[in-house]
Amino acid sequence: MSDENFPSIREGDHESYMNFALERARLSPPASTKFCVGAVLVDAGNNQILSTGYSLELPRDSLGDPGTTHAEQCCFIKIAQKHDVPEERIGDFLPEKTVLYTTMEPCNKRLSGNRTCVDRILRLNGAIKTVYVGIGEPEVFVGKNTGREKLEAAGVKVVILHDMHDRIMKVSMAGHDSETKE
């Protein structure tokens, strides 16, 4: 979706896709008021990376609101910009086997009042059928995140990749007090 040179990752290599999402998360500026999250949108049908994103990558969201963009949201904004459509219409342009890798469970509540990442996924009307997640959202800002439950109730498969928990947690919590735990 951009001029980036994405790595070539073997089909079905979920750990490598999650590692790439973790590389994106490391680009997010650390702060005690947010998590550093990375996301990768993939066409699993032809094993092609469609878009990437990380927390606060884009200075404005699709409505022009400054500085609160989440990783998944940045992936979607880039697809919308490529096709010159509103973000809610990107489902019309996503391949049939699009999957999302995100280092942290998509949010189901935002203190900013912006649309949640869960709602962004669901309003694509089934364009994303599987979401691979590195860790659940720590109960730091909004309490228990019910994003996984809401996605699964709507028919979206959520797969937790447990093997990278500690590495993802360390990157996600960059800028937080080292005493903060999940």
Q: Residues 57, 72, 105, 137: which is the catalytic one?
A: 72
Q: Which two tokens stand for residue 131?
A: 């979401």
Report the side by side order of strands in the sheet with 38-43: 48-54, 38-43, 98-104, 128-135, 157-160
- Residue 103: is it exposed, middle or buried by C-beta count within 10 angstroms (0-12/13-18/19+)? buried
- At 114, which amino acid appears? N
Whether 23 sits among the annotated catalytic residues: the reply is no
Measured between alpha carbons, how far is 40 from 8 in angstroms, rounded to an integer?
13
Helix (H) or strand (E) holding 103: strand 98-104
- Check residue 10 and report its DSSP letter: -
96 in Cβ contact with 15 (< 8 Å): no
If we measure between CA atoms, which residue out of 93, 89, 22, 24 comes closest to residue 58? 24
Q: What are the catalytic residues?
A: 72
